[in-house]
């Protein structure tokens, strides 16, 4: 789960990280008022979206008066900010963060991530801040320094001092830098984060080490331990399909294709998507309904997939071990009877109670296309998507169920 910059700064400041003074605003008038509250002569107005590259896309403006702030924010509110991270669809701007403008002497990059190879928290830092880490890695790979943290003892001060010297920080700033590292590390570990990024981390004109920008991502599976973090979720920044799925306990990732997938198990879901592409189609989603696929859960999955207007065929692929094929079949029949489904439905069942499941599908009287293997199911789904009559899969009326059974 991602959070906004202003939220990340609030979280990090509670762990001792120094951040600029700022305030949130939901309208141009409120943004101008926030600037007057902060005082000073110049302010930075930042669109709050879950994406990087905001400055290049016009989502960060430096203003020197109330009029400039209102003009800048009027061009932001209600608009879509399109960056290299959002894709062409962009992210909606519904709030802005007004922050005091600082004199900056130097910019650094600082990030905390989970390194799977070492199974440790890794600190990544660079003296070339203010740009994406991918660009830094490509243009100045020698400027990147790394350190891993031994979980048994945590981040040690000597590691922070080593990083500070490698980055060329003045000796008078080392202790501030170490304190920032320790605050970020504590926030990372205590809140089950998967990423903390400060870009840029700056040395200000008054010789302070300040987090000028901040991003945090959290492990969604651990949010039950941190309800105060879960409350920071902003659904307006999420794919609505993925948001609905998360609220229903389903693992869903929206894609660009036309064939909706309902599968149990992440590995089988990946194999199903690969097979659809091998058959010449494009999957519309990744959807893992999990091991305990009750009829109600399957019906929820159907309604979720159907809500995607790009879906032109649905492939249900279940290998029942923990769950049962008859439960899945009941869920499919329930969903088709309760929900208007105007696209072909292809079902492949295997495993526990497969005969009972096939019987439920055959006796339902519904236009369900059945398959026995994954490849066959994928080919029939692609054929149905293409409206290929030679595949024998374009069936719209329940009376054709016998021909379907013969074809499968």
pLDDT per residue as tens, the chain (408 positions): 899 999 999 999 999 999 999 999 999 999 999 999 999 999 999 999 988 888 888 899 999 999 999 999 998 998 888 888 877 878 889 999 999 999 999 999 999 999 988 899 999 999 888 777 777 777 777 888 999 999 999 999 999 999 999 999 999 999 999 999 999 999 999 999 999 999 999 999 999 999 999 999 999 889 999 999 999 988 877 777 767 766 666 778 888 889 999 888 888 899 999 999 999 999 998 988 876 666 777 778 888 888 888 889 999 998 877 778 888 888 888 888 887 778 899 999 888 888 888 899 888 888 889 898 999 999 999 988 887 433 443 333 333 333 333 333
Total structural domains in the chain?
3
Tokens for 201, please give them. 């981390």
Q: How far is CA 27 from CA 18, 72, 75, 262, 376, in A?
A: 27, 11, 11, 42, 55
Last residue of a domain, one of 230, 255, 284: 230
DSSP letters of 282-351?
-B-EEEE--S---HHHHHHHHHHHHTSTT--EEEEEEEESSS-HHHHHHHHHHHHHHS---S-EEEEEEE
- Give domain status of residue 6, yes or no: no
- Give domain status of residue 264, yes or no: yes
Residues near 328 by beta carbon (within 8 Å), at least 6 away in sequence: 264, 293, 295, 298, 316, 318, 320, 349, 357
- Give domain status of residue 64, yes or no: yes
Q: Are residues 273 and 247 in the same domain?
A: yes
The CATH number given to whatever domain includes residue 184 is: 3.30.470.20
The CATH number given to whatever domain includes residue 297 is: 3.40.50.261
Q: Name residue, tokens 């910059």.
A: 5
- Give domain status of residue 383, yes or no: yes
Q: Are residues 142 and 281 in the same domain?
A: no
* Interhelix angle 240-247/295-306, nearest 10 degrees: 170
Told to judge if 197 belongs to the known catalytic residues of this protein, a careful annotator would answer yes
Q: Are residues 387 and 346 in the same domain?
A: yes
Q: What is the pLDDT of residues 165-211, one digit of tens each?
A: 999 999 999 999 999 999 999 999 999 999 999 999 999 999 999 99
Last residue of a domain, one of 100, 120, 155: 100
- Give domain status of residue 118, yes or no: yes
Q: What is the pLDDT of residues 373-402, one digit of tens each?
A: 999 999 999 988 887 433 443 333 333 333
Of the candidates 95, 98, 93, 104, which has an alpha carbon nearest to the alpha carbon of residue 42? 98
Tokens for 292, please give them. 């305990």
Last residue of a domain, one of 230, 260, 281: 230
Q: Are residues 267 and 365 in the same domain?
A: yes
- Give domain status of residue 3, yes or no: no
Q: Which position among 99, 197, 242, 312 bears the catalytic label?
A: 197
Q: Are residues 333 and 257 in the same domain?
A: yes
Q: Are residues 55 and 122 in the same domain?
A: no
Q: Are residues 37 and 134 in the same domain?
A: no
* pTM, two decimal places: 0.74
Residue numbers of the domain that contains 31:
21-100
The CATH number given to whatever domain includes residue 80 is: 3.30.1490.20
Tokens for 408, please give them. 């499968």
CA 129 to chain centre: 24
Q: Which position among 5, 97, 99, 109 bears the catalytic label?
A: 109
């Amino acid at each position: 789960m991602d959070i906004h910059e202003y939220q990340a700064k609030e979280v990090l400041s509670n762990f001792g990280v120094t951040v600029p003074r700022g305030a949130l605003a939901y309208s141009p008038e409120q943004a101008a008022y926030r600037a007057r509250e902060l005082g000073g002569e110049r302010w930075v107005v930042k669109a709050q979206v879950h994406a990087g590259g905001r400055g290049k896309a016009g989502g960060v403006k430096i203003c020197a008066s109330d009029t400039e702030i209102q003009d800048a924010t009027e061009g932001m509110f209600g608009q879509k900010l399109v960056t290299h991270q959002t894709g062409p669809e962009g992210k909606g701007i519904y709030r802005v963060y007004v922050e005091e403008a600082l004199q900056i002497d130097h910019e650094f990059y600082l990030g905390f991530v989970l390194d799977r190879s070492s199974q440790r928290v890794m600190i990544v830092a660079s003296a070339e801040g203010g740009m994406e880490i991918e660009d830094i890695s490509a243009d100045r790979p020698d400027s990147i320094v790394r350190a891993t943290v031994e979980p048994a003892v945590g981040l040690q001060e000597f590691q922070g001092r080593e990083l500070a010297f490698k980055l060329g920080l003045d000796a008078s700033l080392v202790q501030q830098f170490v304190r920032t590292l320790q605050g970020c590390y504590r926030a990372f570990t205590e809140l089950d984060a998967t990423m903390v990024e400060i870009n840029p981390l700056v040395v200000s004109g008054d010789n302070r080490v300040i987090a000028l920008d901040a991003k945090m991502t959290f492990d969604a599976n651990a949010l039950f331990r941190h309800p105060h973090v879960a409350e920071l979720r902003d659904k307006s920044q999420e794919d609505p399909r993925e948001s609905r799925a998360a609220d229903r306990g389903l693992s869903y990732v929206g894609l660009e294709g036309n064939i909706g997938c309902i599968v149990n198990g992440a590995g089988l879901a990946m194999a199903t998507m690969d097979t659809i592409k091998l058959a010449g189609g494009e999957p519309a989603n990744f959807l893992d309904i999990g091991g305990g696929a009750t009829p109600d859960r399957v019906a929820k999955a159907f309604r979720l997939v159907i809500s995607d207007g790009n879906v032109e065929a649905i492939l249900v692929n279940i290998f029942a071990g923990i769950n049962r094929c008859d439960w899945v079949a009941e869920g499919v029949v329930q969903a088709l009877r309760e929900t208007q489904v105007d696209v072909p439905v292809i079902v492949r069942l295997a495993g526990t109670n497969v005969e009972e499941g096939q019987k439920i599908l055959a006796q339902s009287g519904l236009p369900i296309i059945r398959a026995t293997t994954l490849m066959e199911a994928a080919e029939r789904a692609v054929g149905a998507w293409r409206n290929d009559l030679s595949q024998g899969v374009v069936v719209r009326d329940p009376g054709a169920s016998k021909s379907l059974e013969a074809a499968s």
